[in-house]
Structure 1
Amino acid sequence: MDIAERLFNWFVASTLMASAVAVVVLAVQHLLRRRIHARLRYALWLIVLLRLMLPVLPQSPVSLFNAVPAWTDIKNAVLGVSYQWNKPDAISEHSQIENTYKPYYTTNEAEKNTVLQPLLTTDTEEHITAGIEGESHPAVRVLAVVWLTGAAVLLGYNLIYWLRFQNKIKRLSPVDRASILKIAEESRSLFSMKRPVGIYVDPSAQSPYITGIFRPAVYLPKSLVSETVNEQLLKHVIVHELAHYKRKDTIWNMVGSLVFAVHWMNPIVWLVLRQIKADRELACDALVLEKLGEEEAVPYGMTIIEFLRRYASGRSPAHLLYFRGSNGQREMMRRIRMIQSFKKGSYKFSMLAVILVLLFGTATLTNARESEAAPFAVAAQEQQQSGKTVKVDKTVAAKLQQVVNEFAGKEIKLKDVFKLAMGDYQTVESVDGKYALEFGLEKGAVLSVSGPVPIDKISKEDQEKILQYLKKIYPNKTYTFENEMKMLKEIGSFERISYTLKGKDFWIVLSNQKQLKDLLGLPELKPENYEIKTDAKELDKKMLKTASEAVKMVLNQDFNATEAILRSGQFDSQGDMLSKWQLKGNGISVGMEGEPSRVSAVGYDSKRVEKEKVKTNKEIPEKEARKVIAAVAKELYNIDISGYKMGWDNDFKFYTLEKDIENNKTTIITAELDANKNMMNIFSYERLQLNR
């Protein structure tokens, strides 16, 4: 028998026994479905992954497989009849299958890449000749070649893809928006992470994802960075990705990829890996809410809904890896229900849960004792081009034309070409530029359509409610809507409509999601985002004075605010958006929030800061930098940093000061200095957490 057949025999035995464990896990989850929480569900699946991955397992009298006496019959049914078998005790103790792999991970639905390089060896020369004698059935030899070929293709594909991906990320740019960097630092503090977390823009990304085991980095789609997105939504996204890192999902993702490559021939493994992905997201959501608190459940649920509809699985190109396809409406509803019912402390393992996992692991991660094991079980274990203009396909063009005509209620002339973008989904515009459609490049499925519609599509009553909403946010302005608004309709299993209403120096985005009305008790038409510009002179003089005094104290500059922007900020515990001000003038920006308004950030514009700030912590001795920051923090925030731990963020090039406070939170101050020890930028995270 050659090496391919020996490995195939090991594969069949391993995959069948692991499938039996998976069936037991499903039964346990079903029987205890009302008492078993997300983290425990996921832990049980990890035992199945280990069973699939480990080539050699110890024997035990308490093994589940002591109760399965018919492995020989199973083997004959699956492999076909071997012409002659030697005695089990003539077979070597164990063959070794050593697996080495590159540490790479991503939770992105569109780009999941793990390189797995198996190194297959045998114990000794005797192991090669010992065991099954005689010629195998021809079907076994064919299946062995097919299985090994498939595994080699998967591993080769992943290797090539990983190399290309590594080359791509070297060209990605770090996020330079101060607000996003601030959110990243605050998110990192929730998990008490000592390692810096890089934040990068990936123009080809379909959704946010995280990579790295030792140097984590979060990658955000270009659309998410360029759009005006409220801070809490961004925080939820980044916290969710960091929760994957904290839970060691990066490592388990690699294990899952190895399992997929080796066990691709087993359809039960496909089902198992799909379920693991779904339960992993539930467990991750539970950890996020454990850190953020129950009061964040509704806002976090809204964020999940927003991103699931934005980056639905239909938009992602097909990949060979298994982290794909569980973002359907059923799984989305399942996640939302978990979020709704979340209770503080439920993420932690109880003593009963720990005992259950230990007992289950002992029973399933061991083999039957040799005297009780069937010959098959023993034998099998012992044989171990972006920017290019492209013409629209005629079939796709017909689909797009039908959708846009139905949307507009008239004939709309579309361009017959589109500019190729990175990623799967592309955009085709109308000749007049007023309408746009997104479609999947791979399958040609229409994803969304947008264009101008009369504002009368929203009732006069609802328009009045929106105006009152804006008046409540900022009453010192007259709001008049334009006669047309932009309507965007997303097409898929979870349809969503949004409207963008504009007026002079303001806009507001409203979402209309009828499917969520009954589920979450939310109104059909709900404000999602807004921005209101006004002359800074219209603001309260006391507020302007506070901002000017802060700038004078921090930057030693006079500050004459000329522009004021009121933006949607975080959600409160009831799911309502809070507002925040950004004041601009003479190249300086001041962030203010709360009531009465308090200064949360002061700094020069980002281009100047990036140009003049020190890029390493070697340019200014730590003691001297701490002295400068201490003086500003005391006067601006009334914070004494004596007990704060000082550090340097090597990714974003700024100083950090941290101090643990109650409820597992950490107060953070970040500061950027120039070579002359002058303050360029400072943020306080303590104020944001205390007033959230």
Structure 2
Amino acid sequence: MDIWVIWEYSASVTVIGLLIWLIKLIFHDKLDARWHYYIWLVLLARVLVPVHVRPVPTPLSIFQEIPLGKWMEMGRILAQEKGYAELCGLLGRAYLWGAGLLGALYLAMWAMLRLQVALAPKADRAVREYVEGIAAKYGCKGCRDIRVRRSPSPYVCGLVHPVLVIPGPDRPAGRGCRRSGGEAPVPGLPGEQVILHELLHKRHRDVLVNILVHGVRVVNWFNPLVWLLTAGVLNDSEALCDQRVLEHCGGETARDYGELLIGMGTGRNPVRIGTSNMAGSYRDMKIRIRRIRDFKRVPGKIGVVTLCITLILAVSAIGSAAEEGQGFPVPAIGSEKDLERALLYARCYHAHTPEEAVYLFLRSCRECSPVYRMAVMPEDEIPRYQEYAWAWFSGQDTEGYPAYFPRETGIAWKYRVYN
């Protein structure tokens, strides 16, 4: 496993995620929960598109301004030249072990949860009629499989054959557990707003988001920023479902629903793979309560502005700069360090088009610049040319002139290049 590719991928995901977080922070009180959630689709685009693929030519590319690929390539070359190639290979194997162990842990947790749900008793007729009544009232589809087991909150488990799991009657009812505008048939069962919340999760297949988030965490298990960003995705998914509940039940129930969420808050956020998760940590609940407070306060036209920002960010996140470069500025070389940096930068430079590659070659012949020559040097000629460049800089005998270039620079200009 090439650890440099993994680092570049994780860094690109982090950069896009932090930009999204910055936009959300700037417009936090001007966006409703729906826009706070859908803007994360930009991150999904960056996650799914391979790191070296830039399928859309655009006037602006984030990674043209933040050249992660070039930095990683320079790091790889330096590691090889300094003798750290074996260490990089060891880090690559360690990464695979870490991803494999975390993936295995998640699979084990998912299998154990599915087993516990399968062994839980099915809901009786009264409970099923209660759930079906809520579904019919709000125009949702019910759930064929309903299970009752001890849990801090109800949740939907599974994507292909979803199961609605609701807390059993023996669970102590938390604050606001039945404050929902409808009496449960059995004391201790969740109220209708809570059931509606999970039915809406099922309708919109939000369990898929949970699965994708944990997949991203497996790939980026070593990056704490990705874990924080994906936690924001999950919480925004829940906040959007809260908004959907209020849209069905009416904004006048926002206060009661907010108190219900406060009653369901926990000191930590339980990890369930392949489920929805209505209950959350106190910090997550604080964000969701703020979104409920802003319900229907967001100006309608702000959605158009947000859509434009989202599209621009998405295209620049996966696009490539459309303009064609004409080489790069050659820095002043006054020391060995300057020469080393210049040669390394030139080695990592890639022409945007065949025409630019020819242009660089002709310019290297005309100016006799070691930096331009390094930019067009064949890979197998690089070690010999580096020795020549060092000899040239120190004023030593340079009889070993690279045969890749003509001795008489005027010869190169006599040729014409056709497409």
TM tier, smaller: 0.5 to 0.7
Question: What SS class does the counterpart of residue 170 from structure 1 fall into?
Answer: helix
- Say yes or no: does 1:283 pair with 2:240: yes
The residue number in structure 2 matching 1:75 is 72
C-alpha displacement of 1:79 = 5.4
- Distance in 1 separating the partners of 2:207 and 2:301: 20
> Please, what TM-score do these two structures have when normalized by structure 1?
0.41
Question: What SS class does the counterpart of residue 319 from structure 2 fall into?
Answer: coil
Q: Match for 1:41 among 28, 36, 57?
A: 36
C-alpha displacement of 1:209 = 1.2
The residue number in structure 2 matching 1:257 is 214
- Distance in 2 separating the partners of 1:302 and 1:83: 59
C-alpha displacement of 1:155 = 1.5
Letter in 2 for 1:216: P
Bigger Cα displacement from structure 2, 358-367 vs 343-352: 343-352
Letter in 1 for 2:162: P
Please, what is the CA RMSD of the aligned residues? 3.8
Q: Match for 1:270 among 214, 227, 230?
A: 227
Inter-CA distance 171–66: structure 2 relative to 1 (3 Å threshold): closer
Q: Match for 1:208 among 154, 159, 166?
A: 154
Aligned residues of 1:196 and 1:215 also touching (Cα < 8 A):
no
- Distance in 2 separating the partners of 1:344 and 1:184: 31
- Distance in 2 separating the partners of 1:68 and 1:321: 37
Question: What SS class does the counterpart of residue 147 from structure 2 fall into?
Answer: strand
Higher relative contact order (CA 8 A, sep 6+): 2
- Distance in 2 separating the partners of 1:376 and 1:259: 29
- Distance in 2 separating the partners of 1:286 and 1:377: 49
C-alpha displacement of 1:152 = 0.7
C-alpha displacement of 1:194 = 4.2
- Say yes or no: does 1:19 pair with 2:14: yes
C-alpha displacement of 1:298 = 1.9
CA deviation map 1:569-601 (0-9, x unaligned): xxxxxxxxxxxxxxxxxxxxxxxxxxxxxxxxx
- Say yes or no: does 1:187 pair with 2:152: no
- Say yes or no: does 1:357 pair with 2:310: yes
CA deviation map 1:180-212 (0-9, x unaligned): 333312332366344634321123x33321123
Letter in 2 for 1:276: V
- Say yes or no: does 1:248 pair with 2:205: yes
CA deviation map 1:336-369 (0-9, x unaligned): 2332332299899944443333333222233446
Question: What SS class does the counterpart of residue 239 from structure 1 fall into?
Answer: helix
C-alpha displacement of 1:259 = 0.4
CA deviation map 1:418-462 (0-9, x unaligned): xxxxxxxxxxxxxxxxxxxxxxxxxxxxxxxxxxxxxxxxxxxxx
Aligned residues of 2:59 and 2:323 also touching (Cα < 8 A):
no
- Distance in 1 separating the partners of 2:66 and 2:288: 40
The residue number in structure 1 matching 2:91 is 143
Q: In percent, how many aligned pairs have the same letter?
A: 22
Q: Match for 1:238 among 185, 192, 195?
A: 195
C-alpha displacement of 1:161 = 2.9
- Distance in 1 separating the partners of 2:348 and 2:247: 46
CA deviation map 1:52-89 (0-9, x unaligned): 233355142245335426435631676572437xxxxx
Aligned residues of 2:63 and 2:317 also touching (Cα < 8 A):
no
The residue number in structure 2 matching 1:91 is none
The 5 Å alignment of 1:17-416 reads: 17-55=12-50, 56-65=53-62, 67-68=64-65, 70-71=67-68, 74-75=71-72, 81-83=78-80, 137-176=85-124, 178=126, 180-189=127-136, 192-194=139-141, 196-203=143-150, 205-223=151-169, 230=178, 231=182, 233-308=190-265, 312-314=266-268, 316=270, 327-343=280-296, 350-368=303-321
Aligned residues of 2:140 and 2:199 also touching (Cα < 8 A):
no
Aligned residues of 2:154 and 2:278 also touching (Cα < 8 A):
no
Inter-CA distance 301–221: structure 2 relative to 1 (3 Å threshold): same
> Please, what TM-score do these two structures have when normalized by structure 2?
0.64
C-alpha displacement of 1:156 = 1.6
Inter-CA distance 149–37: structure 2 relative to 1 (3 Å threshold): same
Aligned residues of 1:13 and 1:376 also touching (Cα < 8 A):
no
Aligned residues of 2:207 and 2:276 also touching (Cα < 8 A):
no
- Distance in 1 separating the partners of 2:78 and 2:311: 38
Inter-CA distance 201–12: structure 2 relative to 1 (3 Å threshold): same
- Distance in 2 separating the partners of 1:199 and 1:348: 41
Aligned residues of 2:243 and 2:292 also touching (Cα < 8 A):
yes
- Distance in 2 separating the partners of 1:235 and 1:347: 29
Inter-CA distance 37–175: structure 2 relative to 1 (3 Å threshold): same
Inter-CA distance 194–284: structure 2 relative to 1 (3 Å threshold): closer
- Distance in 1 separating the partners of 2:131 and 2:275: 28
- Distance in 1 separating the partners of 2:32 and 2:39: 11
Letter in 2 for 1:363: S
Inter-CA distance 167–72: structure 2 relative to 1 (3 Å threshold): closer
Where structure 1 has 5 or more consecutive residues not aligned to the other structure, the ranges are: 85-133, 379-692
Question: What SS class does the counterpart of residue 33 from structure 1 fall into?
Answer: coil
Letter in 1 for 2:78: V
C-alpha displacement of 1:262 = 0.4
Inter-CA distance 32–346: structure 2 relative to 1 (3 Å threshold): closer
- Distance in 1 separating the partners of 2:37 and 2:320: 23
Aligned residues of 1:196 and 1:216 also touching (Cα < 8 A):
yes
Letter in 2 for 1:46: L
Inter-CA distance 299–34: structure 2 relative to 1 (3 Å threshold): closer
- Relative to its length, the structure with more strand (as a share) is 1
C-alpha displacement of 1:36 = 1.7
Letter in 1 for 2:65: V
The residue number in structure 1 matching 2:383 is none
- Distance in 1 separating the partners of 2:79 and 2:12: 20
Letter in 2 for 1:29: K
- Distance in 2 separating the partners of 1:80 and 1:223: 63
Letter in 2 for 1:331: D
Letter in 2 for 1:137: A
CA deviation map 1:131-177 (0-9, x unaligned): xxx98623311221111111111122222333333333222212115
C-alpha displacement of 1:267 = 1.8
- Distance in 1 separating the partners of 2:12 and 2:297: 37
- Distance in 1 separating the partners of 2:205 and 2:302: 16
Letter in 2 for 1:262: V
Letter in 2 for 1:31: I
C-alpha displacement of 1:333 = 2.9
CA deviation map 1:370-403 (0-9, x unaligned): 966998799xxxxxxxxxxxxxxxxxxxxxxxxx
Inter-CA distance 170–348: structure 2 relative to 1 (3 Å threshold): farther
Where structure 2 has 5 or more consecutive residues not aligned to the other structure, the ranges are: 184-189, 328-344, 351-419
Aligned residues of 2:268 and 2:282 also touching (Cα < 8 A):
no
The 5 Å alignment of 1:420-435 reads: none
Letter in 2 for 1:188: A
The 5 Å alignment of 1:492-641 reads: none
CA deviation map 1:460-495 (0-9, x unaligned): xxxxxxxxxxxxxxxxxxxxxxxxxxxxxxxxxxxx
